[in-house]
Amino acid sequence: MARGSYEMGFTLDEVRAHWDSVAPIYDQANIHWLNPHEWRFIEGITYLEPSRSQDVSVLSLWSRTGNAIPFIRSVLPNTQIFNFEASRGMIEHARRSHPEEQFFETDLKTIDLPDQSMDYIMSPETLEHTPDPPALIGEFHRVLKNDGRLILSLPPRVADFHQWVYETLVGGHGDGPRKGIPSWVVKSWLAEAGFNLQLHRAILMFPIGPLWFIRLGNRLTRWLPFLKELGVMQFYICHKRPMVE
């Protein structure tokens, strides 16, 4: 797929303006019992491999107020986490909540890290807010080691309706500029960037409700793969294809 054939329709300044404005209420808004916010981390860390090594490095993008940190450290307690975020307001709150951690600003197009420096990249619910998703995926490929793993999640196009229903009935902080992306588009971008897709999994068939109800929906997407596009949270687990000299 040509890079310009899927237009997102918003700018980085618009994205930053929204998230700066909601940074003071972000954490409070996400503790609502109907909010599936933490499922991105609950599922995401299952693709991290436990290690006691301090040499393991993880890129967390975008990092919001540092919400992923406790989940990552539950599996990789000694890892070095590089938290990248587009909103300066979010970074300010993150540094107050996690003064021992490191946070950096990103334009969602470039990542200020050396080539082949990361063992893992966790990027939950990011591409739908990114003005140029293929450029960011290209940066993921650049900074990931040849044997590294990309753990990417984002909603499909149909989930824009789910988001509208949630914001209308429950409220929350709003999602600002965003556009859900069909899985076949994401897969084409990943392949063009040089990633091997190991697993595509959808969760949150039923994104709100009691825990047993949410888990039932997650099982349905495993038992009936054709329902994948209806899962609100789509996971793409990828390995970087080694570069040919």
CA dist 131 and 148 (Å) reads 25
CA dist 175 and 38 (Å) reads 15
184 Rama class: left (phi>0) / alpha (psi -120 to 50) / beta: alpha
CA dist 79 and 57 (Å) reads 6
pLDDT tens, residue by residue, 185-222: 999 999 999 999 999 988 766 666 666 777 777 777 77
pLDDT tens, residue by residue, 31-63: 765 557 788 999 999 999 998 888 999 999 999
- The mean-pLDDT minimum among 2-11, 40-49, 73-82, 103-112 falls in 2-11
What is the CATH code of the structural domain delimited by 3-236? 3.40.50.150
| The pLDDT of residue 45 | 97
Instruction: Give me the residue label for tokens 């309706």.
Output: 161
Q: Tell me the percentage of the chain whose pLDDT exceeds 90.
A: 62
pLDDT at 235 over 80: yes
Q: What is the mean pLDDT of the chain?
A: 87
User: What predicted TM-score, i.e. pTM, was given to this entire model?
Assistant: 0.87
Task: Please check whether residue 15 is in contact with residue 177, taking contact to mean a CB–CB distance below 8 angstroms.
Answer: yes
CB contact set of 13 (below 8 Å; sequence gap of 6+): none
pLDDT at 2 over 50: no
- The mean-pLDDT minimum among 15-19, 24-28, 72-76, 131-135 falls in 24-28
Q: Where are the domains of the chain?
A: 3-236
| The pLDDT of residue 99 | 97
Question: For 92-112, what is the mean pLDDT?
Answer: 97
CA dist 101 and 117 (Å) reads 18
| The pLDDT of residue 205 | 63
CA dist 108 and 123 (Å) reads 11
